[in-house]
Structures are given as C-alpha cells and as structure tokens.
Amino acid sequence: MLPLPARNGLLEITLRKAGDLHLEKDLRSCPASCSSDCQTVMSTLLDPQLQLLRATSADAQALSRLSAAVFPLGCPADTPPEDLADYISREHTPERYRAMLQDDRFTILVAKVADHFVGLALMARASAPAEMQFAAALELRRFYIDPVYHGRGVANLLMERVLAVVADRGERSLWLSAFSGNVRAIAFYKRWGFRIAGEHDFMVGTDRQRDYLMVYEVPIDRDGYSIGSGKPGNLSNAKEGS
C-alpha cells in the first residue's frame, strides 16, 4: 500500500516563515543572452561542494531529519501543532524513508553539501487524484530545501535534475500537490512549466487544508520523443484536460 500523499513544499522562494530572499531568478527564466550575468550570480551563490545524488537506505535518518524540520513550513501558519506532530510521526520517520528506498516505486534525489543534506526530491509512482483534470502516474511527492540554503540556487538545480529524470524515463507528465496559499511556491512551479489542473483537500492530522494539484507535461518533439532524453514519451499517460 502506498503512503499517504504528501504536500509538496518549496522553500527556496516561499514561505511566510522563511525570511527575505536574495535571489528570485532561476536558470529557466534566464535566457542565453543574459547568461554571463545570471551564471555569475548563480556560481557565486552555489556552494562548490554541492552534489546531487540518488538516496540510499543508509540515508534514511538524514532524510527524516530534514523533512521533519521542513514539512511544517509548507503548512498554513495556524495548523495545530498536534496535527503537525501526528502527520510527521507517521510520514516523516526513518522507517518510512527506509521502506520507500527499498521500493522501486519511489525515487529520492538529494542535494548534499559536505556531509549535510540540504534538499530532497521524492518521486512516487502514484496516479493523480480524480480532482485533477489530467491523467498522470508519476508524483513529485516532496521537494524540500533546508532554509539555510534559501535563495542560493539549490532548488533550481534540484528541480532541473528531477525533470531530467522524468524525461529520461520516457514519462509524459509529473504531478504534485501544494498548499494553495503558498503563492511564491506556486509561482516557482509555474516558471518550471507546471500548471494548476485541479484542487483537493489535504489532511494534516485532523486539519483540512486546500491544495492545488499541478501538472508538468514533458515536451515532446514531432516524432514523439521526450525533448532532451532521446526516448519516446509515454503518451498513454496523458489526456487533454477539460
């Protein structure tokens, strides 16, 4: 049985608790003609020790620690603490991560600086809810960045890697669920090509919250191949939204 769906919380450019940001541009919004300026800024912000890796079972404790700390920041400010504690105790434990890392329906990418995990992206083989007006079978279930690394380009590089994995697998789309009040996060996902395709209720303990369902459609060339992957897109996953 698959775990409960998990809200996707972007912390690079979001959250009312996160403080001011120093950079709101991302690589996708920066055309080649301005690469000298943008790339200089990005190279200055990025830690030279940053690595993007695929997580293993040995990483379960570190993943749990990061996600338990970050998850509350993606919730409404008035979420009852007892509901947060209940959800975290069920969905963000080392045991939960260990189980997912041993299940081929899940893929977890991590951003790592030296020995510290500063970001994670969890993809799960899971169909989108009926409330989403688009058929998608791969979910970006979690996308978390350590607040210390806000505004330093980590989220951009991690999202770039996520979408590269999706295209390389021949997937046609990727969906996620994000708190509808998380305005800057929604804007970030839109800049990366996601669009709102529905809404649903998301339960944190007994607290009912409203989420947007968002979908990213992998670009396909005229021959039916995922652009950038050289592999055919899985066209059966997609249908035209109404």
Domains assigned to the chain: 27-237 (3.40.630.30)
8 Å CB contact between 211 and 177: yes
| Beta bridge mates, 225 | 232
- Tell me, yes or no, if the pTM score tops 0.85: no
The pLDDT value recorded for residue 127 is 95
Task: Report pLDDT digits (tens) over 141-199.
Answer: 999 999 899 888 999 999 999 999 999 999 999 999 999 998 878 988 999 999 999 99
Which amino acid, 152? R
A 10 A CB-CB count for 49 gives 10
3 state DSSP class of 210: strand
- What are the φ/ψ torsions at residue 57 (nearest 5 degrees)? -60, -30
Q: Is residue 105 classed exposed, middle or buried when 0-12, 13-18 and 19+ CB atoms within 10 A define those classes? A: exposed
Token pair of 206, please?
A: 């007994």
Q: How confident is the model at residue 229 (pLDDT cuts 50, 70, 90)?
A: low
pLDDT band for 1, please (50, 70, 90 cuts).
Answer: very low
Taking the alpha carbons at both ends of the chain, their separation in whole angstroms is: 30
